[in-house]
Amino acid sequence: MTMRSDVVAQVREVYDWLELKLADRKPVCGACGNCCDFAGFDHRLYVTLAELEYFRAAMGPDILEMSEGRCPYQQDSKCSVYDHRFAGCRIFNCRGDENFQSELSEETIRKFKRICRDTGMEYLYMELGAALKLAQE
């Protein structure tokens, strides 16, 4: 994958927009770790290729592989990549309003589709494990 700075900047804008949308609505995280234990919480995290591009730019070449249904970036019930986490991580809260989270997710996906369309990047939406594997290539 070739680094696309235009995509990275636009994804950052979406993340900033998300933080504003969530500021008054998202319950405080209790650092229970449920959201990072996908298998245990019966939860799946999907990310877009545009987000993966942003993550690679932030993290460099040392992308961790996911194993056993748990995010590899969770350490002691906390996110070790919190500032660079994916949209789904920003939106989902195990104590949050499911309808609000669902609507915000759909709106966010439309923004990522638009980024891909406008920059000529392929739109892919994949589970975190597959995305992290792709980022290692």
- pLDDT, tens digit, for every residue of 8-29? 999 999 999 999 998 877 667 7
Give the whole-angstrom CA distance, residue 1 versus residue 52. 10
Question: What pLDDT, on the 0 to 100 scale, is given for residue 26?
Answer: 64
Tokens 């980022």 — which residue? 135
pTM here? 0.88
Give the whole-angstrom CA distance, residue 134 versus residue 28. 32
pLDDT exceeds cutoff 90 at 137: no
Among residues of the chain, what percentage have pLDDT more than 70?
93
Mean pLDDT of 95-120: 92
Range of the domain at 100: 5-135
Total domain count for the chain? 1
Buried b (16+ CB within 10 A) or exposed e, 57-84: beeeeebeebeebebbbbeeeebebeeb
Which helix (DSSP H) or strand (DSSP E) does residue 75 occupy? strand 74-75
